[in-house]
Amino acid sequence: MKIAVLTSGGDAPGMNAAIRAVVRAGEVYGHEIFGVKDGYQGMIDDIMIPLNHQSVSGMLSLGGTFLGTSRAPEFLKEEVRQKAVDNLKNRGIEALIAIGGDGTYRGAMDLAKMGLKTIGLPGTIDNDIAGTDFTIGFHTAVETIVDAIDKLRDTSTSHQRCSIVEVMGRHCGDLALFAGICGGAEFIITPENPMNKEEIISKLKQHKKEGRRHAIIVITEKILNVYEFADEITQKSGFASRATVLGYIQRGGSPCPEDRILGSRMGAYAVELLNDGVYGVCVGVRDERMVHLPFSNVVGQSRPKNELYKLVKKVS
Ligand code: ADP
């Protein structure tokens, strides 16, 4: 079989491990693999390269995605998607493995309806995909955030300050939750765990009275303006506060072992699904095991509130 692989939407560390595994497992089973450049845009523009064992050598430790990624708004038009499907068919490619987030899955689901044998792999640092415990890139991003929190704590302690750290995640608080626990944050504010500003300010007043030398607040993006919140805390609690928005640093870096393993497992599993004639599904990991679900069960679905929130109450 000729199989195409692409990465789309926001990049994530470990995407290269997944592409590599698709290529290597594909070769084991006698398939021909093509890498589509820059996500769905490369499908529309017919820019694809044959990939073999050698072309993915040395990719495991590289961050980002060597195939490139993009946002291709044109792909929402059916006639544009049809052109992209025709481009694959003209090359004799009958299957596509699409690595990305919820938007990428929506595109892949549409392609599956148009007759392409499509498999989705969850590649996003946000961990905001239903049907999987973890997405490729999440663990590396947590490491990056924890490293930043540890450093911010040093300077916060020296100056007796409260540090507000804004992290990515869109509508999912997992990055803030996991990194907040690892970094010993006093407060973790996420879409799943909203917190009352007045309550935080009153607790910080108390901390100040007790002579505590630092406080860390980790918050998911898009909840409030962290710079204004820092000023408000400073004025109302007397605990001098500074906000740090970590931004795109969270997307970069060499993938950690968990993401290399997850990307490798998921890439190989996607090829095995195609071998078994299974497609129109996306791959996940549940309780350490590879699983797959129809796109319609996953796209647009939210994940249940994480069990770790119970731990936050005990250790923060
Ligand atoms: P992510 O995959 O990280 O969530 P985006 O939401 O930007 O990133 O989606 C990546 C790409 O997937 C978009 O640029 C677009 O090409 C495609 N896409 C997103 N939503 C749809 C949709 N509803 N139908 C078809 N394609 C879509």
Helix, strand, coil distribution of the chain in percent, nearest 5: 45, 20, 35
Q: Is residue 313 over pLDDT 90?
A: no
How far apart CA 153 and CA 217 sit, in angstroms, is: 11
- Contact yes or no for 162/231 (Cβ under 8 A): no
Ligand 1 centroid to residue 129 C-alpha, Å? 13
35 lines ligand 1 (CB under 6 A): no
pLDDT band at 316 (very low <50, low <70, confident <90, very high): confident
pLDDT of residue 142: 98
- Ligand 1: residue whose CA is nearest its atom 23: 106
Ligand 1 centroid to residue 173 C-alpha, Å? 21
Token digits of residue 272: 């095995």
Mean pLDDT of 2-15: 98
DSSP bridge pairs for 49: 35
Burial of residue 78, with CB atoms counted within 10 A of its CB: 0-12 exposed, 13-18 middle, 19 or more buried: exposed
pLDDT of residue 82: 98
How do residues 230-279 score in pLDDT, each as one tens digit? 999 999 999 999 999 999 999 999 999 999 999 999 999 999 999 999 99
pLDDT of residue 195: 87
pTM given for the model: 0.97
Closest Cα partner for 183 from 209, 219, 212?
A: 219
- Ligand 1: residue whose CA is nearest its atom 7: 9
How do residues 200-229 score in pLDDT, each as one tens digit? 999 999 999 999 999 999 999 999 999 999
Mean pLDDT of 136-160: 97
Ligand 1 centroid to residue 228 C-alpha, Å? 32
Domain range summary for the chain, segments of one domain joined by +: 2-137+255-301, 139-251
How do residues 27-53 score in pLDDT, each as one tens digit? 999 999 999 999 999 999 999 999 999
CATH number for the domain formed by residue range(s) 139-251:
3.40.50.460
How do residues 118-147 score in pLDDT, each as one tens digit? 999 999 999 999 999 999 999 999 999 999
CATH of 2-137+255-301, one of 3.40.50.1260, 3.40.50.450, 3.30.450.20, 3.40.50.1010: 3.40.50.450
Check if 2-137+255-301 and 139-251 are the same fold.
yes
